[in-house]
C-alpha cells in the first residue's frame, strides 16, 4: 500500500507539510494550489524595495534538539538565520510613560517594580509563572508525545493562578493604574487572549525558543516547498479546485460510506487519487467542494454562526525613509483620545516595526505596520463598489499615519510606500474567508487526550481535512496536523511513520 496516491488541495504550510511527510513514507502526492506561490497565509509581498510580512510574529521551535525544531528540520525550514529580539513589546501612553516587556525576565521584573513598587508581590507571582513555562513550549504540544503532555500539565499546575486568567482579568491583579491599562495589550493587543499564551511567549523569547526567521514568512514557506519538491512531490499552481469527486459507497468495503476519488478543477480537468486531503477554507470545503452532503448537526451549527470581527484583519504597512533599528520590534500606542478607523473606534494602535531585520527595506529605511481588528462585512460590502473600497483604504492609511505622526515626527513626509490589506485581500489571495463561532477546531482537552488530530467528515471515506480550519491556527499546529495525518495513514497501512531531516543548508 506504500505506493498509494494522495491529492492535496492547497499549498499552504499544512498542505506542504502533509506532502513532505507523505513523500517521506512512499506515497505519491500532488498538490493543487489556486495561487501562484506557496505558503497560503504564510506569506509576504514586496512593494518598491520594501517587504511587507503578513504572517509570522514569533516563530516557535527555534531551539535545536526540541521536537518542533526537528519538525522544521524535516520540512527543510531549519537551520536558518534567526533573529532573537531583546524586547517583546513596549506599551506607551501619551505622556511618554512606557511599559517595556523585556525578553530577559530578570530585567522585566526590575522594570515592573520600578513602574509599580506597590505591586511587587503580584509581579513576583506573575514572573514565577512565566519562569515555569521555560520548561516546555506549549506549542510543542502540536507534535507532543505522552511525556511532553504530562510535563505541560505539571507546568500548568505550577502557574495555575495566572494560567486560568485572560489578559484583561490578569490586569486586575495590579493596583497601579498604568499597569492595569497597559497589561492587557502586551499579547498582540488581544485583551481576551489567555494569559497562558503570554506567559509561554515570555518564557520562550527568553530561552530563544521563539525567534524571527530572517527575511520573514515567504522565504520560510519557499524553503518548505523546495523540500517537498526535493522529496519528489508534484505541485501545480493556478489550479483552482471546483469539486471533490465522490463515488457511491453502497456495497463497497467502505461500509456504505461514499468515497472521495479525485477532484475537478475550474478548467474542467480531473485528477484522481486514493486519498484526498483539503487544507482549504472550511466553509468552501464542506459546502462548495462537497455540496454540503457530508455534514452533521455540529458542522451545520458551526457554519451557521459567522463571526464578523476579524482579529488582525486590517493591516496598514508603510515603507518609510526612516531608520527604525533603534525602535522596539512592537509598540502599542495608547492614544490621547479615541479615533475612528474603518467604522470602528480605537483607543490604541498596535504596531510592528521591522528595524531588526535589515533585509526587509532598503539601507537606512524601514518597514512599519499597524494591525487592527476590523469587520468582515464592512469590507465585503465596500468591495462591491471598487471606487468606494479604494477610497476607504486610502482614508484608513491617512488616519493611521495621522495617529502615528506625534510618536514619529515628520513620518508623513517620510512615507515611500503604503499598502493596506483587508479581510477581502486575504480572501482574494488565499481563499480564507469569514470565521465562525463553534468552529470545527480541536478543543485543547481533546488534543491532550489524543483525539481530533485527524479530521474526517461523516459518511465520506478517504477524505481528510488538515489546517487551521480543522484544528488550531498557527504554523506549528498546521504542520503537526499534516504529520499526524500521514502517521494515521501509515498506521492504517500497517507500518511506522518514517521521517528524515533535510540535508544541511539544502532543503
pLDDT in tens, the chain (507 residues): 457 999 999 999 999 999 999 999 999 999 999 999 999 999 999 999 999 999 999 999 999 999 999 999 999 999 999 999 999 999 999 999 999 999 999 999 999 999 999 999 999 999 999 998 888 788 888 887 767 666 666 665 555 678 788 999 999 999 999 999 999 999 887 888 889 889 999 999 999 999 999 999 999 999 999 999 999 999 999 999 999 999 987 655 545 689 999 999 999 999 999 999 999 999 999 999 999 999 999 889 888 888 999 988 999 999 999 999 999 999 999 999 999 999 999 999 999 999 999 999 999 999 999 999 999 999 999 999 999 999 999 999 999 999 999 999 999 999 999 999 999 999 999 999 888 865 555 545 444 444 445 689 999 999 999 998 888 889 999 999 999 999 999 999 999 999 999 996 544
Instruction: Work out the number of other CB atoms within 10 angstroms of the CB of residue 501.
Output: 12
442 touches 453 (CB < 8 A): yes
Q: Omega before 79 cis (within 30°)?
A: yes
Q: Assign 3-class secondary structure to 313-365.
A: EEEEEEEECCCCCCCCCEEEEEEEEEEEECCEEEEEEEEEECCCCHHHCCCCC
pLDDT score, position 142: 80
d(CA 14, CA 336): 42
The radius of gyration computed from the CA coordinates of the chain, to the nearest angstrom, equals 23
Name which of 223, 269, 247 is nearest 30 in CA terms: 269
Name which of 62, 71, 79 is nearest 21 in CA terms: 71
Amino acid at each position: 500500500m506504500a505506493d498509494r496516491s494522495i491529492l492535496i488541495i492547497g499549498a499552504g504550510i499544512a498542505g506542504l507539510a502533509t506532502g513532505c511527510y507523505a513523500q517521506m513514507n512512499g506515497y505519491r502526492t500532488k498538490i493543487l494550489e489556486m495561487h501562484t506561490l506557496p505558503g497560503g497565509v504564510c506569506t509576504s509581498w514586496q512593494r518598491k524595495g520594501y517587504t511587507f510580512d503578513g504572517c509570522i510574529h514569533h516563530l516557535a521551535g527555534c531551539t535545536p534538539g526540541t521536537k518542533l525544531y526537528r519538525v522544521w528540520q524535516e520540512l527543510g525550514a531549519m537551520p536558518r538565520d534567526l533573529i532573537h529580539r531583546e524586547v517583546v513589546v513596549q506599551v506607551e501612553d501619551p505622556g511618554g510613560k512606557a511599559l517595556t516587556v523585556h525578553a530577559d525576565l530578570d530585567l522585566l521584573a526590575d522594570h515592573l517594580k520600578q513602574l509599580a513598587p506597590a505591586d511587587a508581590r503580584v509581579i513576583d507571582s506573575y514572573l514565577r509563572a512565566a519562569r515555569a513555562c521555560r520548561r516546555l513550549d506549549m506549542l510543542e504540544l502540536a507534535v507532543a508525545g505522552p511525556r511532553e503532555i504530562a510535563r505541560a500539565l505539571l507546568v500548568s499546575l505550577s502557574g495555575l493562578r495566572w494560567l486560568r486568567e485572560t489578559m484583561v482579568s490578569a490586569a486586575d491583579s495590579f493596583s497601579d493604574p498604568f499597569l492595569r491599562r497597559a497589561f492587557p495589550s502586551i499579547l498582540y493587543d488581544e485583551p481576551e487572549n489567555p494569559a497562558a499564551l503570554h506567559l509561554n511567549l515570555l518564557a520562550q523569547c527568553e530561552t530563544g525558543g521563539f525567534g524571527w526567521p530572517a527575511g520573514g514568512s515567504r522565504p520560510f514557506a519557499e524553503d518548505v516547498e523546495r523540500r517537498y519538491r526535493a522529496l519528489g512531490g508534484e505541485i501545480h499552481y493556478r489550479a483552482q479546485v471546483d469539486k471533490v469527486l465522490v463515488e457511491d459507497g453502497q456495497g463497497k468495503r467502505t461500509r456504505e460510506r461514499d468515497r472521495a476519488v479525485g477532484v475537478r478543477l475550474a478548467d474542467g480537468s480531473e485528477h484522481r487519487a486514493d486519498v484526498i486531503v483539503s487544507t482549504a477554507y472550511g466553509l468552501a470545503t464542506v459546502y462548495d467542494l462537497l455540496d454540503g452532503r457530508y455534514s452533521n448537526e455540529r458542522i451545520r451549527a458551526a457554519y451557521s454562526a459567522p463571526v464578523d470581527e476579524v482579529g488582525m484583519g486590517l493591516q496598514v504597512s508603510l515603507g518609510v525613509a526612516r531608520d527604525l533599528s533603534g525602535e522596539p520590534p512592537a509598540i502599542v500606542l495608547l492614544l490621547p483620545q479615541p479615533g475612528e478607523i474603518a467604522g470602528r473606534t480605537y483607543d490604541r494602535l498596535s504596531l510592528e516595526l521591522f528595524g531588526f531585520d535589515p533585509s526587509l527595506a532598503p539601507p537606512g529605511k524601514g518597514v512599519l505596520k499597524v494591525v487592527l481588528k476590523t469587520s468582515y462585512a464592512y469590507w465585503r460590502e465596500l468591495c462591491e463598489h471598487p471606487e468606494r473600497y479604494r477610497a476607504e483604504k486610502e482614508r484608513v492609511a491617512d488616519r493611521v499615519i495621522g495617529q502615528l505622526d506625534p510618536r514619529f515626527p515628520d513620518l508623513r513626509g517620510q512615507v515611500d510606500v503604503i499598502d493596506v490589506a483587508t479581510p477581502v485581500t486575504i480572501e482574494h489571495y488565499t481563499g480564507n474567508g469569514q470565521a465562525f463561532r463553534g468552529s470545527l477546531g480541536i478543543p485543547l482537552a481533546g488534543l491532550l487526550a489524543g483525539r481530533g488530530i485527524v479530521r474526517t467528515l461523516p459518511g465520506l471515506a478517504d477524505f481528510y481535512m488538515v489546517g487551521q480550519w480543522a484544528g488550531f491556527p498557527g504554523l506549528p499546529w498546521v504542520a503537526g496536523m499534516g504529520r499526524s495525518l500521514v502517521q494515521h495513514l501509515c498506521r492504517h497501512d500497517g507500518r511506522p511513520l518514517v521521517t528524515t531531516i533535510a540535508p544541511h543548508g539544502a532543503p
